[in-house]
Structure 1
Amino acid sequence: MATNHDRSDSRLSRRSLLAGAGLAAAAATIPAEAHAAPARAWDQMADIVCVGSGAAACSAAVTAAAAGAKVIVIEKMPFLGGTTGKSGGVVWICNHFGLRAQGIRDEKADAMAYMCRFSFPQVYDPTSPTLGLTEADYRLIEAFYDHGHEAIDHLQAVDAARFKQFRLWGVDEPAPDYADHLPENKVPTGRALEPATGAGGQGGGSLAMQLTDWLERHKVPILTETRVTRLVMDGGRAVGVEAEANGKTIRIGARKAVIFGTGGYAHNLDLVGLHQTALYGSCAMPGSTGDFISIAGAAGAAMGTLDGAWRTQVLFEEALENRELGVCAFFLPGDSMLLLNKYGRRVVNEKRCYNDRTRVHFAYDPVRDEYPNQLLFMLFDQRSL
């Protein structure tokens, strides 16, 4: 779709969303106190500017527009949806409408213990008021418990997206959690939701389509092939952005807030080399180049840890051909496959979830001074092939 910079009407084309194109965007908000932006040469003006077009940015855009704000969405790629568009579209939410309808009590204390234990096993302490976490990390997880289900309810109430309980491979039972075996997990199945339509492996495309369709119906301008390059600051506040489009610089003002939901940096080799021990490829969309890191840093924002990721294993041969992978090794046939390291030793439970399996690759052997599991070999039979 050609980039549309018409001030009067920059409507989203349905064709611009590629159906086969996770919920993997990283979002950050800049202070949103409503002060009028100082007079300056803006090419366009809105209350809220949302950067990115995946689930993070588009859900923010829907929420703001539904509350009556004038919103502009900016996407640097020629199509919409980001990595969300090629993900499974599964969202993991405590105490959601489906659990409540089933009479399942997803108690806050239990859910908090599970989330803190699984997210921060190195510091988890059940006797601590913050379960061993820093105050900031604990409050972030608490906010997720308190408001995650409210966000889902709101998206459904404004008819922006519809959800149902996630079913894995068509099995007529709610999918289990990744760590359903932990004793802190009192609701080990049923928290995962997927789009009510278009699920079954392509749920992310459905989720992205639902959100962008809603924006189209409500005439929210969306600019594609427009790369945000800089925050415009005034007195410590973000009052707009500068962006590059068609070889020109445009300025878009924001009366209330600039919201970034622009994904990670998996395809920025400089940042990968700086922050990752090893990253051979990624199924993130090619636009995941970490633009927000330099933009926020230039505005004076301090970065948190940048070496984390929600990971999966990749086939090395495929990554050598193209590090922008269509799909990765999310599920392995654990009954008929072994993962062996360079010494022929089995080093991981093949049935563990993909993110947990990847951690074994980073085990360091201080005697041999090497990472013996950095590359693993898949041993399997004809049935698995």
Structure 2
Amino acid sequence: MEKQWNEQYDVVVVGSGAGGLTAALTARLQGLSVIVIEKTALFGGSTSKSGGTIWIPNNLYLEEAGVKDTYEHAKTYLDTTVGDRVPDALKKAYLRKGPEMVKYLHENTEHFRWEYTPRYSDYYPESPGGLASGRAVEAQLFDLRKLGDDIKHLRTSGLPTKGMVLKSSEFHKVNMIMRTWIGKTKAVKVGMRLIRTLISGYKPTTLGEAAVARLYTSLKEAGGEVWLQTPFKDLIYENNQVTGVIAERDGMEINIQARHGVIFASGGFSHNQELREKYLPKPTNTEWTLSAEKQTGDVIAAGVKLGGQLDLMDKVWGTPTSAPPGAPAFMPVAERATPGLIIVNSNGERYINESVPYHEFVDQMYENNNEQSSTIPSWMIFDKRVKSRYLVFGIMPLQQLPKEWFETDYVKKADTIEELARKINVPPEKLAATISRFNTFAAKGSDEDFQRGESAYDRYYGDPTLNNPNLAPLDKAPYYAIPIYPGDIGTKGGLVIDESARVITKDGAPITGLYATGNCTASVMGETYPGPGATIGASMVFGYAAAMDIAENARKKSSRSPKVTMTV
């Protein structure tokens, strides 16, 4: 009996983050009809909540900016950082198809426009193949008026910026507003942008919101469709291949045919506590994740049901997080590089270079967590000097920390180190000794315990007016403490894919008609995180690879059978 289809498309994409939108846009540009189904009421996924940076070596925007990079140089770096944790063919595909994807979408759309983020270094710039100048590019400013009525469906970042719109390349400069002339100049520029927004209809956005808005607008202009509040339920598998999906729309289950392929791009399982308990290091909590809601692993389970292979299920794109009262969890990136700020365990001791890349920080939190010295939570300790000089959790230097933070006891405050130690239940003498030792290092300009400030990555968010941009004394009362937990921006384990993004079974064969990209897959980055935007970049690259493979196969089918059509 022939399957009854409620809707029919060449390609069905599950998930509306950067990977899903890139896959759908590429498929549409290749002449295929495409539908994106999204579980939530907002499009953008975790990409919208991110910095919107992509790490794709040797791409045209880097070349335009004069960044010297080559395939061989980038391959050396991936071999050094990722190693043999993932197949070599996957790394090669990423490095070759990444620049190809950037060029293709740049040349074939009006809105795919990015720019180099100067000196935002690779996360391990001193490693062979690493670049201190960085390979990060970010979406250019985008005027949200171009979204029309769809603006109300765009997932927003939720950053506490009070209406200010900052590019990634601007943030670390604005953070130095009290310290450098370029910080003051950049802050004025950002302020003028805000004034323009307030007195005109201009609606600029940056970071992940801009990345998503640019991809979404390009897709809509190419004739692609996006259905919100349409959760994926299951795959339809017939005659040894995936032929469509079952989804829920307006309270009804519908069958959507995918004539040439289904692409999973719906994120991992960060919001599934049961799966977190099963696979991830403990303790773990859905409240610590920064990923978009309802990422519960639905598509991973569907792929496994068809024999899909799993890998890296115990890994996350880790980041330390902290959740202020009444607000989503916050990701302290620049804060950890701030001179005069340290992070300690339950014994009041430092256990890490606070400025290391965020995924490495989380790995170290778990490795150093034990009965004698708990690191969950850890405590971020800073003083009046830090508060008066730098941004803290989005709060400007001259702004007071929110009253609610103190009333709920989220932030601890004290006039002495010993009093602060008692408030966070760590040995006063240990914390005092730790800070005294740290202050000695600050005076010398050299962190003898953890080498903070020696890497170009450390220094990016540091204070350039200091001999060591990441070291300054911690000795000006009052003192503050904020709890830090091992969070994530998404899980990074899931279905194993090949270089064309086809989902692979345990015996190494592809599941015909099923592709995947992003955080529902086992990441090409393995157990590490080579540079800013490696997660979004990989999701986009393999979304592109999936769509291109589907398009090529569709053309082959079309040449063999006049019954197969491609919609332009």
TM-score category, normalised to shorter length: 0.7 to 0.9
Matching residue's letter, 1:55? A
Deviation string, structure 1 residues 303-341 (Cα, Å, up to 9, x no partner)? 1221111111012x54xx68x935322222431111111
Could you tell me which residue of structure 1 aligns to residue 330 of structure 2? 327
**If you compute each CA radius of gyration, which structure gives the higher value, 1 or 2?**
2
Partners of 1:179 and 1:195 in 2: CA distance: 23
The Cα of 1:68 is off from its aligned counterpart by 0.3
The Cα of 1:186 is off from its aligned counterpart by 4.7
Report the count of equivalent residues: 322
Q: 1:361 to 1:233 in 2, by over 3 A?
A: same
Partners of 1:93 and 1:143 in 2: CA distance: 12
Could you tell me which residue of structure 2 aligns to residue 227 of structure 1? 231
The Cα of 1:217 is off from its aligned counterpart by 1.7
Using the aligned pairs only, state the percent identity: 27
Deviation string, structure 1 residues 271-310 (Cα, Å, up to 9, x no partner)? 1111111333111111221211111112221212211111
Correspondence list, 1:146-165, <5 A: 146-159=96-109, 160-165=111-116
Partners of 2:314 and 2:90 in 1: CA distance: 19
Could you tell me which residue of structure 2 aligns to residue 288 of structure 1? 295
Which stretch of the first structure deviates more once superposed, 190-199 or 224-233?
190-199
Q: Unpaired segments of 5 or more residues in structure 2? A: 143-165, 169-205, 388-568
Deviation string, structure 1 residues 79-129 (Cα, Å, up to 9, x no partner)? 111111111110001111133335544233332121122224xxxxxxxxx
Paired residues of 2:119 and 2:132 also in contact (CA < 8 A): no
Correspondence list, 1:296-315, <5 A: 296-315=303-322
Could you tell me which residue of structure 2 aligns to residue 73 of structure 1? 36
Matching residue's letter, 1:378? M
Could you tell me which residue of structure 2 aligns to residue 194 of structure 1? 138
Q: 1:85 to 1:52 in 2, by over 3 A?
A: same
Partners of 1:208 and 1:76 in 2: CA distance: 16
SS of the equivalent of 2:96 reads helix
The Cα of 1:137 is off from its aligned counterpart by 2.1
SS of the equivalent of 2:257 reads strand
Q: CA RMSD in A?
A: 2.1
Correspondence 1:244 to 2:245: no
Could you tell me which residue of structure 2 aligns to residue 216 of structure 1? 220
Correspondence 1:338 to 2:342: yes
The structure 1 residue matched to 2:272, chosen from 268, 274, 280, is: 268
Paired residues of 1:361 and 1:371 also in contact (CA < 8 A): no
Partners of 2:257 and 2:122 in 1: CA distance: 42
Of Structure 1 and Structure 2, which has the larger fraction of its residues in helix?
A: 2
SS of the equivalent of 2:318 reads coil
Paired residues of 1:362 and 1:371 also in contact (CA < 8 A): no
Which stretch of the first structure deviates more once superposed, 173-182 or 102-111?
102-111
Could you tell me which residue of structure 2 aligns to residue 12 of structure 1? none
Could you tell me which residue of structure 2 aligns to residue 56 of structure 1? 19
Q: 1:186 to 1:311 in 2, by over 3 A?
A: closer
SS of the equivalent of 1:207 reads helix
Q: Unpaired segments of 5 or more residues in structure 1? A: 1-37, 121-132, 167-172
Which stretch of the first structure deviates more once superposed, 187-196 or 260-269?
187-196
The Cα of 1:78 is off from its aligned counterpart by 0.6
The structure 2 residue matched to 1:357, chosen from 361, 365, 378, is: 361
Which stretch of the first structure deviates more once superposed, 193-202 or 57-66?
193-202
Paired residues of 2:271 and 2:294 also in contact (CA < 8 A): yes
Which stretch of the first structure deviates more once superposed, 196-205 or 72-81?
196-205
Paired residues of 2:25 and 2:222 also in contact (CA < 8 A): no
Moved over 6 A (4+): none
Partners of 1:327 and 1:213 in 2: CA distance: 28
The structure 2 residue matched to 1:384, chosen from 386, 392, 411, is: 386
Deviation string, structure 1 residues 129-148 (Cα, Å, up to 9, x no partner)? xxxx16x5221111111111
Partners of 2:132 and 2:245 in 1: CA distance: 43
SS of the equivalent of 1:147 reads helix
Matching residue's letter, 1:267? H
